């Protein structure tokens, strides 16, 4: 079956004058272990800058003070961790269950590590949390050890792999993935009607196995550590604001790329860092949502 190509960009619903933070989604970010506080912070901050009403970041206890110091507008929660500074699951399960009960969407993976406990955390999220999921980074790396979990998804889930992570999921090399991006991504997404794949890279593509969107925004300066963690937070915020999974991923990659282009215009491709993308998100959403032309052109004046 041929993939249906999607070119129009979805929009977020207009905000009510009587709206409150509970109307715009509660996001739980589960991310960060020893040395990876920034991954958790970037995901949490980007969810906030993408309109989430409330963001909680749950991370390994030893880095929680550091994660909290990055951004005062999200809440942070320490999770039991092992001697390597990695979240200890199942020891952290009771705390995560309480936090998940208060959340509309879970974003899992950046900087978590790849222990057996992290695989069990992902298994719990898929099989027991009942919440829409964003799976990135180490959540995907451990998922590669039990890919059948994908078949058990009963809730919307967006996976955001780069070619290397996707290769590990599918038993292919990154080069093989790059040579057949659409075919491989759509075939994997088709395993479960609840799954959407956002395969990152030049021309990030979003597919649910039936539809495909190829993104046109972004630039090589975004090839920098943490840029993917920013995308994780954006996708989670879109899900929290009630966009369906395909549209959430599509709008997220589009706005992520625009933010990268704004950051490039301000800092240049060489000096661009992931925090610049977070800082550019408000202007990116203004460009994408608030009445601006959706046909993004690199010649547009996107400078800060």
CATH class for the region spanning 21-289: alpha beta
Q: Where are the domains of the chain?
A: 21-289
How far, in Å, are 26, 89, 150 from residue 99 at the CA level?
A: 10, 15, 23
Query: Whole-angstrom Cα distance, residue 135 to residue 245?
Result: 12
Place of tokens 């970037």: 42
pTM of the full predicted structure?
0.95
One digit per residue, the tens of pLDDT, for the chain of length 304 reads 799 999 999 999 899 999 999 999 999 999 999 999 999 999 999 999 999 999 999 999 999 999 999 999 999 999 999 999 999 999 999 999 999 999 999 999 999 999 999 999 999 999 999 999 999 999 999 999 999 999 999 999 999 999 999 999 999 999 999 999 999 999 999 999 999 999 999 999 999 999 999 999 999 999 999 999 999 999 999 999 999 999 999 999 999 999 999 999 999 999 999 999 999 999 999 999 764 444 444 434 433 3
Query: Whole-angstrom Cα distance, residue 241 to residue 234?
Result: 11
Q: What percent of the chain has pLDDT over 70?
A: 95
How far, in Å, are 106, 137, 190, 240 from residue 193 at the CA level?
A: 19, 22, 6, 19
Reported as a single tens digit per residue, the pLDDT across 135-159 is 999 999 999 999 999 999 999 999 9
In the predicted model, what is the mean pLDDT of the chain?
95
User: Phi and psi of 235, rounded to 5°?
Assistant: -60, -45
């Amino acid at each position: 079956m041929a993939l249906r190509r999607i070119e129009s960009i979805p929009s977020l619903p207009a905000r009510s004058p009587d709206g409150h933070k509970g109307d715009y989604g509660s996001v739980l970010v589960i991310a960060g272990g020893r040395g990876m506080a920034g991954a958790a912070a970037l995901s949490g901050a980007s969810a906030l800058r993408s309109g989430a009403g409330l963001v909680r970041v749950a991370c390994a206890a030893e880095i929680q003070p550091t994660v909290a110091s990055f951004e005062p507008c999200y809440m942070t929660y320490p999770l039991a961790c092992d001697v390597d500074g990695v979240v200890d699951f199942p020891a952290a399960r009771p705390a995560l269950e309480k936090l998940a009960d208060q959340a509309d969407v879970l974003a899992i993976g950046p900087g978590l590590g790849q222990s057996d406990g992290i695989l069990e955390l992902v298994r719990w999220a898929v099989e027991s949390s009942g919440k829409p999921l964003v799976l990135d980074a180490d959540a995907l790396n451990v998922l590669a050890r039990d890919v059948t979990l994908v078949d058990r998804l009963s809730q919307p889930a967006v996976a955001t792999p780069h070619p290397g992570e996707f290769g590990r999921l599918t038993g292919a090399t990154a080069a093989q993935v790059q040579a057949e991006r659409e075919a491989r991504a759509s075939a994997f997404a088709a395993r479960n009607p609840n799954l959407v794949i956002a395969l990152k890279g030049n021309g990030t593509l979003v597919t649910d196995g039936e539809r495909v969107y190829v993104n046109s925004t972004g630039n090589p300066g975004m090839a920098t550590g943490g840029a993917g963690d920013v995308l994780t937070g954006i996708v989670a915020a879109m899900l929290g604001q009630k966009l369906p999974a395909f549209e959430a991923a599509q709008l997220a990659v589009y706005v992520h790329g625009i933010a990268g282009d704004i950051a490039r215009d301000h800092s240049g491709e060489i000096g661009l860092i992931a925090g610049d993308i977070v800082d550019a998100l408000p202007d990116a959403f203004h460009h994408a949502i608030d009445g601006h032309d959706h046909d993004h052109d690199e010649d547009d004046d996107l400078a800060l």
